[in-house]
Structure 1
């Protein structure tokens, strides 16, 4: 099963809308921050799903999947 390209695109474009890392692109959030959400509860809706996806990507060493999308933004 291949990852959803639209979802991956959102991870490299969408910025965190609040908190300590406000305005940081989701794919650049540190694992410790994503783990905090895991313990406390991810936000509801699309943002929570994206943050949880980013945690899974980072914890499984799959950040290379985002590299071509990041390069396309430059």
Structure 2
């Protein structure tokens, strides 16, 4: 599988592991929360990369792209 495609599929199912929005899909995090992290600094590692990508997608109004991926690639097929 193409690395970018695999990253987006994983992003579609990634959930916030802690805090106020624990358990919520990253793509569904409120914009103000991601802006706060953008200013504070995203966490290290994969979570930070995913949150930064979600920030960029929301900034450009492309979050439905990830939601559509979740519909197209249901968890049971992975």
Interval containing the TM-score (normalised by the shorter chain): 0.7 to 0.9
Shift in Å, 1:11: 1.7
Give 5+ residue unaligned stretches, structure 2. none
Q: Contact 2:12–2:67 (CA<8 Å) still a contact in 1?
A: no
Length-normalised TM-score, structure 1 = 0.85
- Any stretches of 5+ residues in structure 1 without a counterpart? none
Does the 8 Å CA contact 2:15/2:24 hold for their aligned counterparts?
yes
The answer to whether the 8 A contact 2:34-2:55 is kept is yes
How many aligned positions are there?
Answer: 72
Match of 1:46?
Answer: 46
Return structure 1 stretches of 4+ with deviation > 2 angstroms. none
- Give TM-score, length-normalised by structure 2: 0.81
Aligned to 1:12: 12
